[in-house]
């Protein structure tokens, strides 16, 4: 019998009409589904525009309204307005300190000159490193402790641009529990280690600061995040790719004592620039690191207990895979 939730999945192969798709990296409610729909729809004529703000100000910007009008005029009225010369993809690159780049043209997303690059977690030094650590190590946290997370950092010596789909491949263990809710986050840090964030709406008054301090994640971009309940780790082979894992959610596989399993966690797509000296911090936690999506919404309470163990190096080489753009 088909599960109720399976009936809600669109049949993307049946979507063949021309499509104008608008997305952002920062809308924790809509980003994943929008990119997924754009990737999977069967339309041969489809355009993707990735902006750098919140969706409502972007949609009603007069220039963007006119851009969409040209799309409709071309396909609904047959207007010869040059629409088909529009690049298939126009993406943004976030700086988080001013100087965002918008409407960067490309033939695909990610662009063809992007390479998926592994940064291995080193549990001894808490660093992200380019080569697999030979020595086994672990990083742990107690779910109910004050420090209910672990993180790993790397510093960039040269200008580094990331655009595309990040993912985490982690070897994990639960002590004192048979399941784990894992939350991961990629943060940009300045050269002094200060986390960089960016409001997505024009209103940046005191109230917006207040409601986004522990929530309202669609209004303040804090980085690319992902999450997974480990018992739902099974992958859907037909839909998964080396860059984007897709989970089947059709079985529950609880953890046995001392069992170490590998999981793949997809993070939200990203477009982020790192200047020389700036750093990237990868955080793994037992709780949501962004809080609820909407201001005032109830925060999700994870089904966690005991101690979470992240294995690194040797036969359990956990890594963060990042989409690095070539020159």
Domain ranges in the chain?
4-106, 114-325
Looking at residue 5, its pLDDT comes to 79
Give the model confidence (pLDDT) of 38-72 as tens digits: 999 999 999 999 999 999 999 999 999 999 999 99
Return the pLDDT at 7: 83
Hey, which residues does 262 pair with through a beta bridge? Answer: 171
Show the low-confidence residues of the chain (pLDDT under 50): 1
Q: State the pLDDT at residue 199.
A: 95
Predicted confidence at residue 9, as pLDDT, reads 86
Residue 297's pLDDT is 85
pLDDT tens digits for 171-192?
A: 999 999 999 999 999 999 999 9
Task: Please give the pLDDT value at position 31.
Answer: 96
Going by C-beta distance under 8 Å and a sequence separation of 6 or more, which residues neighbour residue 35?
23, 109, 269
Q: Which residues contact 327 (CB under 8 A, 6 or more apart)?
A: 113
Rounded-to-integer distance, Cα 261 and Cα 54, Å: 37
DSSP 268: P
Cα–Cα distance measured from residue 271 to residue 166, given in angstroms and rounded to the nearest whole number:
10
In whole angstroms, give the CA distance from residue 306 to residue 122: 23
Dist CA 142 CA 148 (whole Å): 6
Please name the residue that has the structure tokens 């953890």: 255
Strands 46-51 and 19-24: parallel
Helix or strand holding residue 278 (H, E): none
Q: Give residue 2's pLDDT.
A: 59
Look at phi and psi of residue 284 and say left if phi exceeds 0, alpha if psi is from -120 to 50, else beta. Answer: beta
Sheet holding 89-93, edge to edge: 19-24, 46-51, 89-93, 101-106
DSSP state of 249: -
Beta bridge partners of 127: 122, 153
Give the per-residue pLDDT at 241: 97
| The predicted structure's pLDDT at residue 294 | 84
Residue with structure tokens 């200047």?
275
What pLDDT, on a 0 to 100 scale, did the predictor assign at position 239?
94
Concatenated DSSP letters of 155-202: E-SS-EEEEE--EEEEEEEEES-S--EEEEEEEEE-TTS-EE-EE-SS
According to CATH, the superfamily of the domain at 4-106 is Alpha/Beta hydrolase fold, catalytic domain (3.40.50.1820)
Instruction: Report the DSSP pairing between strands 224-229 and 261-266.
Output: unpaired
Nearest to 305 by CA among 140, 175, 138: 175
pLDDT at residue 214, rounded to an integer: 84
Can you give the pTM of this predicted structure?
0.95
Structural domain 114-325, CATH architecture: Sandwich (2.60)
């Amino acid at each position: 019998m088909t599960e109720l939730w399976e009936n809600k999945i669109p049949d993307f192969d049946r979507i063949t009409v021309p499509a104008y798709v608008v997305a952002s990296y920062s809308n924790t409610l809509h980003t994943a589904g929008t990119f997924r729909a754009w990737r999977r729809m069967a339309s041969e004529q489809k355009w993707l525009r990735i902006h750098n703000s919140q969706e409502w100000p972007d949609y009603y910007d007069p220039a963007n309204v006119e851009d969409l009008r040209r799309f409709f005029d071309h396909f609904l009225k047959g207007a010869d307005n040059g629409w088909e010369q529009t690049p298939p993809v126009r993406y943004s690159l976030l700086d988080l300190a001013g100087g965002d780049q918008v409407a960067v043209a490309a033939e695909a997303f990610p662009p063809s000159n992007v390479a998926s690059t592994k940064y291995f977690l080193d549990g001894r030094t808490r660093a992200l490193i380019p080569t697999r650590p030979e020595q086994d190590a672990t990083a742990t946290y107690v779910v109910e402790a004050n420090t209910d997370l672990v993180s790993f950092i790397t510093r960039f010596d040269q200008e580094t641009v990331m655009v595309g789909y990040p993912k985490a491949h982690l070897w994990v263990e639960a002590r004192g529990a048979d399941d784990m809710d894992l939350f991961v986050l990629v943060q940009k840090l300045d050269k002094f280690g200060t986390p960089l964030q960016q409001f997505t709406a024009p209103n940046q008054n005191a109230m917006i600061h207040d409601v986004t301090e522990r929530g309202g994640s669609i209004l303040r971009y804090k980085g690319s995040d992902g999450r997974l309940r480990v018992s739902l780790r099974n992958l859907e082979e037909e839909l998964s790719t080396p860059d984007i894992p897709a989970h089947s959610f059709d079985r529950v596989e609880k953890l046995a004592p001392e069992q170490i399993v590998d999981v793949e966690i997809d993070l939200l797509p990203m477009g982020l620039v790192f200047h020389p000296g700036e750093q990237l911090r990868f955080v793994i936690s037992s709780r949501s690191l962004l809080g609820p999506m909407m201001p005032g919404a109830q925060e999700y309470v994870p089904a966690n207990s005991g101690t979470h163990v992240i294995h690194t190096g040797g036969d359990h080489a956990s890594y963060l895979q990042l989409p690095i753009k070539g020159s």
